[in-house]
Amino acid sequence: MSTDSSVNSPEKPESIFGKRLRNFLIVMVAIALSVSLVLGLRTETTSATLAKLSETSTPLEVALSNGKPSLVEFYADWCTVCQKMAPDITQLETEYADKMNFVMLNVDNTKWLPEMLRFRVDGIPHFVFLSQQGETIAQAIGDQPRKIMATNLEALVTGSSLPYAQASGKVSKFSAPVAPTANQDDPRSHGSQVVN
């Protein structure tokens, strides 16, 4: 009868040491990867967001009265095109901050309904270029390449005509509520339920 010596024989000390070393190295690599992953996720990124742009935005009232040209952007936090353009707008704002105003108006805030109606906002992002006197020079709707926006802003700052006025790109659809709907059961309707 033949016997298989590898099945029943005790392991040699070299192979036990080799396995322990291999397992130790695997554990160390796993720990290092875990630590780097956790630290990587906790590191705050400097990516531009709509919230940051909104925080640094010049108030509309100030922009209309401080004698600088302005770029007004109608946006929404849920707008994917607005989110995509946020890094470019942040770079442009950094580049032109001392020469012009950057105004962010959230279309989800009904406070801006008169401005949405005035500028006929039906897609976002919706950009309005205002002169130093607060007059509308041009509008652009949707995704705009950074180069086109920079060219328009340079023209706005120098008082030249905008080369890419009335540009249109990919938009997120938006419908501004024009007027509240009339409800016959509303007690504030002041007698509309009274029948003569």
Active site residues per annotation = 79, 82
Residues 6+ apart with CB under 8 A from 47: 87
Residue tagged 């770029």 (tokens): 71
* Helix residue spans in 75-171 (DSSP H): 80-96, 113-118, 146-158
Phi, psi dihedral angles at 183 (to 5 degrees): -125, 120
Residue 107 CA to residue 175 CA, distance in Å, equals: 9
On the CB side of 25, CA atoms within 13 Å amount to 6
CB 70 within 8 A of CB 99: no
CB 71 within 8 A of CB 56: no
Helix, strand, coil percentages (3-state) for the chain, rounded to 5, are 45, 15, 40
